[in-house]
Amino acid sequence: MLFSELGLGADVLRAVEEKGYTQPTPIQEKAIPWVLQGRDVLGCAQTGTGKTASFTLPMIDILATGRARARMPRSLILEPTRELAAQVAETFEVYGQYHKLSMALLIGGETFTEQVKRLDRGVDVLIATPGRLMDLFGRGNIMLNDIKVLVIDEADRMLDMGFIPDIEKIVATLPKMRQTLFFSATMPPEIRRLADAFLHNPKEVTVAPPASPAATVTQALVVVHEEDKREALRHLLRTEDVKNAFIFCNRKRDVAVVQKSLEKHGFNVGCLHGDMPQSKRTETLEAFKAGQISLLVCSDVAARGLDVQGLSHVFNFDVPIHADDYVHRIGRTGRAGRSGRAFSIASPYDGKAVAAITKLIQREIPLIAIDGLESPAFEEESEDGARRRGGARRRGRDEGGREPKAEGRSSGRRERSDRDRSERDRSERSERAERPAAADTAPAQAPRSEAPRNDRDRDRSRRRRDDDDDVVVVGFGDHMPAFMMRTGRRARPATPAPVDTATDSTQEG
């Protein structure tokens, strides 16, 4: 299929052609005609599939007629992170170059003054992160009752980051008569319920099975002792043909440590995490995109969904705590049909996390050894929490054909590893203790606020917000989202809507 067959206007098609695209991606092919018809769309698609253009292109056409009034934007796009919001704004600029649409980007970390001035002049497209939008709304700088099109992007990430209460408040202030486009990489039940509450008779479009990494990404796993991880990373960086790479850490404090270490070893490296001032975040990302920095150590929050053309490698300095983050991380490479390579560096304590990943992606990640470094087995945790050496994935140095290390050093390393691990556990426990609103103080009747039942629940409750990667988000605090209190299906509104039973969502609302 060609772009010209989707029903888009001539000016949008010209901009698409100049960008060099002739054929729509599957999500564009499936979603654009429905969006142009004014239908609500529930899109199950990851970043990297071309989903941004699947909503920006038709929105430009839809908004081409009409004029924005001061402080009353005509469309609203909600993004979980500042970088993603900025990326969507860039997409609008490229595809909207032959239109006179005005746009405002409302993201945290930048001064209110310029953003308020823009709103005062009237904007057609408002792209925002939920926190900043709520701030400006609270100050009376913005009215949302003229919104014709609402886009909620990366809904599952919004949920993970604790943004759903804000989003519910925002959506409650929007006109009921609007078009809603809702995108999520995965569709867990919470997201389904949310879509049910926000969308009216949506067209459901799915382009790839959730959580399947691109086939173009070659993956590998290295298991080393905790204290060998930096050396393992350096080895991989030196032996792989790395043009540019994201290096992911689980904690933002480790981002700085890894960056400094790489810098010390002569690598051209920058970092990106939620504690950095926005100006520095933007500057670093620009330098990386321009090739002035070739390695970027980052946290999940800061680098989520970032689109860097032709990224050759992704390194997981830490195995992600949440299996779905693995898919998102490695999805930064191997984009738009190009090949990419993704390496994960695990410690002996990451067995459970690796097992969760392989279960999710439904395949084993090939295990490789690093010359000169021991490859220990994963530790197994017994019922009582005690750890013992696992056998299933054991891969000793001798298997790689090298001399086994002297037992003394090896066991010394293990003791150090255990010490490191218990220190880390202690520091995590004390971090958690310092944080307010612990899960077990939440009301028992609230489904999302119950004390976590298992590791995964506990992990989910520790998800982080955009501006503070490490801050705990526990349940919904004082705000129980309305959609979770709803017991049955929402009644179908009286307004008749065209029905296409073959592909329509079965959800009402």
Q: How far is the CB of 203 from ligand AMP (least distance, A)?
A: 19
Q: How far is the CB of 153 from ligand AMP (least distance, A)?
A: 9
Which residue, 23 or 65, has its beta carbon nearer to ligand AMP? 23
Residue 429, number of CB atoms within 10 A of its CB: 10
Q: How far is the CB of 405 from ligand AMP (least distance, A)?
A: 44
Which residue, 34 or 95, has its beta carbon nearer to ligand AMP? 95
β-strands 103-106, 125-128: how paired?
A: parallel
Q: Are 327 and 213 in contact (CB under 8 A)?
A: yes
Amino acid at 118: R
13: enclosing H helix or E strand: helix 10-19
Cα–Cα distance, 306 to 37 (Å, whole number): 30
Tell me the sheet residues that pair with 296.
246, 270
Which residue, 29 or 228, has its beta carbon nearer to ligand AMP? 29
CA 381, 252, 362, 371 torsion: positive or negative? negative
Which residues neighbour 296 within 8 Å (Cβ) at sequence distance 6 or greater? 244, 245, 246, 247, 269, 270, 271, 272, 284, 285, 288, 303
Q: How far is the CB of 281 from ligand AMP (least distance, A)?
A: 18
Which residue, 251 or 332, has its beta carbon nearer to ligand AMP? 332
Cα–Cα distance, 126 to 119 (Å, whole number): 9
154: enclosing H helix or E strand: none
Cα separations in angstroms, 400 against 149, 196, 368, 373, 404: 58, 53, 9, 10, 9
Cα–Cα distance, 44 to 10 (Å, whole number): 28
Which residue, 71 or 335, has its beta carbon nearer to ligand AMP? 335
Strand order through the sheet with 295-298: 269-272, 295-298, 245-248, 313-316, 340-346, 217-223, 367-368
Q: How far is the CB of 52 from ligand AMP (least distance, A)?
A: 3
Q: How far is the CB of 80 from ligand AMP (least distance, A)?
A: 13
Which residue, 280 or 289, has its beta carbon nearer to ligand AMP? 289
Amino acid at 334: G
Which residue, 15 or 271, has its beta carbon nearer to ligand AMP? 15
Residues near ligand AMP (CB under 6 A) are: 21, 23-25, 28, 47-53, 307, 309, 335-336
Which residue, 335 or 463, has its beta carbon nearer to ligand AMP? 335
- The DSSP code sequence of 24-92 is --HHHHHHHHHHHTT--EEEE--TTSSHHHHHHHHHHHHHTSS-PBTTB-SEEEE-SSHHHHHHHHHHH
Q: Are 464 and 163 in contact (CB under 8 A)?
A: no
Q: How far is the CB of 466 from ligand AMP (least distance, A)?
A: 18
Q: Which residue's C-beta sits nearest to ligand AMP?
A: 52
Q: Are 250 and 227 in contact (CB under 8 A)?
A: no
Q: How far is the CB of 233 from ligand AMP (least distance, A)?
A: 27
Which residue, 135 or 307, has its beta carbon nearer to ligand AMP? 307
Which residue, 57 or 480, has its beta carbon nearer to ligand AMP? 57
Q: How far is the CB of 93 from ligand AMP (least distance, A)?
A: 13
Q: How far is the CB of 8 from ligand AMP (least distance, A)?
A: 12
User: What does the block give as tokens for 119?
Assistant: 């709103």
Q: Nearest Cα to 214, choosing from 145, 311, 114, 143?
A: 311
